Structure 1
Amino acid sequence: MPGYSTRKLDLTIGGHPWRLRVLSDLQQFADPDGHGERLGISSAQWSLFGQVWPAGLVLAHAMHRATFNGERILELGCGIGLASLVLQQQEADIVASDVHPLAEPFLAYNAALNALPALHYRQLRWDVPLPTLGRFDVIIASDVLYQRGSAELVNDVIARHAHDDAQVWVTDPGRGQAARFSRLMEAQEYAVESINCPVDDGDSAPYRGAVLRYGRGTARRLAQ
């Protein structure tokens, strides 16, 4: 037994059915060797990676609707990685990343569960540079601005790994750091726009957070 329980979750994105293995609930916890704790993941935070949160669902729908043409894409804090799986299904050049020690095996399992090849994955701590990760044309993230200081951390990761003409997509449910993050991005010469992205056609309960798209260089026109 792994020390935690899971359940299967069925979703539909753009008419395409998805089945995901997620943690049974937010009470799950298993860190017998202290690996998560050494990475800075507390017992209260441990289970957060293992759910599909509203902002993550919206990002997945946004990626389904987006058009990319060979751009190299990075997802930050992927958790279950639904947006990355959607991009993998579209044969995009996607690299998923997270700090949680179980993000990679869950991502691999869910790719196989949906008859997809394994995704490229890198474990990434936002406070530790990883030069071998390289740079990307598009960086995406959902609900990553969740605590004081997170805007600075995510901004720094983007500064290290975004090409000069990159675009950045962030779905944010309104945890209070988005304005700070946008100011930091503007200091990097990104323009920002808030775009509408319903979770499905005819949805009667639209997402109440923001879908923020930032553009710089030749991608700047996307956000003007």
Structure 2
Amino acid sequence: MTKYEKKLGSLQCGPMTLRYESFADFDTEVSKALDQIEHDDQAPLFGDLWPSAEALCHYLLEESLQAKSVLEIGCGLGLPSILASKLGAKVIASDYHPHSEAFVLRNRELNDAKVEFKQIDWRSPSELPPQDMIIASDILYEPQTYPDLALFIQLHCHKRTKVLIADPERVFSSQFEAVMENCGLKLLRKWHDGNIILKVWELA
């Protein structure tokens, strides 16, 4: 695996302090990677703790997660997954980038959490069963991925699944709402944390 320079950080979530390992210098690591990769989707964007992931963590504190099955998509460093595990959920953290796994497993170890990692491509079929909750943060930056993403989410929902997506409000975010609606998911509510908007969905 590519060797990344790393640093340790911490995130305070209510009474809990989550420790995590990330890139020491995100811009430097991404710049180095872009000189070596063939496609932009291979860029190691997972290596930083994004504000959307922090907002998602804070929102999860208000959820009842004991014994719930939770799938995080585009998990990056895996902090929301780790928090969900600490709150009693059975969690699968997933990401397209294969190098995300080492960071998720390291952060799992730092927090004594129980999180399973799976490398998942939204564009390919998944054998995972429907989940009680699907969570994600900062994954809506490429509108061309919306149809595949919404279909993936829909296929992993049951009638009571709750879908939480935290993201900066981008100019094309309304497109995603329309795509989700076309896949049979309705928007229940929005929650604001600074410039981050968390949207809650369920099957219509």
Counterpart residue number, 1:7: 7
Give 5+ residue unaligned stretches, structure 1. Answer: 198-205, 218-224
Mapped contact 1:145–1:172 kept (Cα < 8 A):
yes
Mapped contact 1:194–1:210 kept (Cα < 8 A):
no
Mapped partners of 1:66, 1:13: distance in 2: 13
> 1:107 aligned to 104, 111, 114, which one?
104
Deviations 1:158-215 (A, max 9, x none): 1222123322110110233321111122223332134335xxxxxxxx4212110012
How big is the shift at 1:37? 5.0
Amino acid at match of 2:110: L
How big is the shift at 1:2? 5.3
Mapped contact 2:191–2:199 kept (Cα < 8 A):
no
Counterpart residue number, 1:203: none
Moved more, 94-103 or 158-167: 158-167
Give 5+ residue unaligned stretches, structure 2. Answer: none
Counterpart residue number, 1:221: none
Tell me, yes or no, if structure 1 residue 77 matches structure 2 residue 74. Answer: yes
> 2:194 aligned to 184, 207, 217, which one?
207
The CA RMSD over aligned residues, in Å, is 2.2
Question: When you count strand as a share of all residues, which structure comes out higher?
Answer: 2
Amino acid at match of 1:67: S
Moved more, 54-63 or 169-178: 169-178
Counterpart residue number, 2:153: 158
Runs of 4+ in structure 1 deviating by more than 6 angstroms, as ranges, are none
Mapped contact 1:6–1:21 kept (Cα < 8 A):
yes
* TM-score after normalising by structure 1: 0.80
Which secondary structure state, in structure 2, belongs to the residue aligned with residue 41 of structure 1? Answer: helix
Mapped partners of 1:209, 1:186: distance in 2: 21
Mapped contact 1:19–1:114 kept (Cα < 8 A):
yes
Tell me, yes or no, if structure 1 residue 188 matches structure 2 residue 183. Answer: yes
Tell me, yes or no, if structure 1 residue 128 matches structure 2 residue 115. Answer: no
Counterpart residue number, 2:164: 169
* TM-score after normalising by structure 2: 0.88
Deviations 1:45-67 (A, max 9, x none): 32x10111010110111112211
Which secondary structure state, in structure 2, belongs to the residue aligned with residue 28 of structure 1? Answer: helix
Amino acid at match of 1:124: I
Counterpart residue number, 2:134: 139
How big is the shift at 1:137? 2.0
Mapped contact 2:65–2:88 kept (Cα < 8 A):
no
Mapped partners of 2:68, 2:18: distance in 1: 24
Mapped partners of 1:207, 1:154: distance in 2: 25
Counterpart residue number, 1:28: 29
% of aligned pairs identical? 28
